[in-house]
Amino acid sequence: MSESPQQTTLGDLVECDLVIESVVEDLAVKLPLFAELDSICKPEAILATNTSTLPVIEMAMATDRPDQVCGVHFFNPAPMMSLVEVIEPLTASEATIASAIAFAEACGKSPVRVKDRAGFIVNALLFPYLNNAARMLENGTATAEDIDEAMKGGCNFPMGPLALLDLVGLDTSVSILDALYDEFKDPNYAAVPSLRRMVSAGRLGRKSGAGFYDYSRK
């Protein structure tokens, strides 16, 4: 696959072998985009999504090439994180999955293959922990700093859960939890009230300058 220069309109994607969608975590936005990409991109192109949790099958079925749609899920910050989850919806061909794995390897990443279930591997396991850290802060068990310090020092994690929520973005995190809860109805996936209130207040984490921590002077 050849490298393309930066493009700014969908029409510029016509010659791409692989397109990875990474717009806001909202199926209502992604589905029409997949239909549009399907009409624009060359017939042999693979259309992939970087979604963290949403059903890839829905995006596949929004196209006339469901066998050529899969998930290619990078982790934040993508240049530093070695993992890519390659997500396999029911409709994907083996050739599509093999191409996505080859692409991830060509990017220097370590791909893992996973079925199309909300949260795939990492976020299905990670988000109950992040949500419960926000709950712990909400309950007044400890300060944000001490919760993060405890998980770094006690578990050797590179960053604490509340700092990680700020990095992911609280709006994206609530969308991820909602998609997980929608699929599994597990109370651990039900976003705690304080997360939603922070999103309503525009405290989205690093990208807005404030979340659990203040980034305005950093």
Cβ distance to ligand NAD smaller for residue 94 or 114: 114
Of these residues, 30, 65, 73, 203, which one is catalytic?
73
**Residue 23 lies near ligand NAD (rule: CB under 6 A):** yes
Contact residues for 139 (Cβ-Cβ < 8 A; gap 6+): none
CB-CB contact of 78 with 84 (8 Å):
no
Q: Does 14 bind ligand NAD (CB under 6 A)?
A: no
Contacts of 32 (CB under 8 A, 6+ apart): 62
Query: Looking at 18, 45, 168, 174, which residue binds ligand NAD (CB under 6 A)?
Result: 168
In the complex with ligand NAD, which residue's Cβ is closer, 23 or 90? 23
Q: Does 194 bind ligand NAD (CB under 6 A)?
A: no
Map the footprint of ligand NAD across residues 54-113, applying CB under 6 A.
74-76
Q: Identify the residue among 1, 14, 29, 98 touching ligand NAD (CB under 6 A).
A: 29
| Cα–Cα distance measured from residue 1 to residue 16, given in angstroms and rounded to the nearest whole number | 8
Q: What are phi and psi of 86, to 5 degrees?
A: -100, 115
Q: Find, among 159, 178, 170, 160, the residue nearest to 209 by Cα.
A: 170
CB of 207 to ligand NAD, least distance (A): 6
Catalytic site includes residue 125? no
- Interhelix angle 161-168/170-184, rounded to 10 degrees, is 100
Asked if 148 is part of the footprint of ligand NAD (rule: CB under 6 A), the reply reads no
Q: Which residues contact 185 (CB under 8 A, 6 or more apart)?
A: none
Q: Does 22 bind ligand NAD (CB under 6 A)?
A: yes
Residue 168 CB, nearest distance to ligand NAD (Å)? 4
Identify the CA nearest to 18 among candidates 39, 35, 51, 41.
41
Active-site residue set: 73
Q: Which residues bind ligand NAD (CB under 6 A)?
A: 22-25, 29, 33, 50-52, 74-76, 168-169, 172, 207
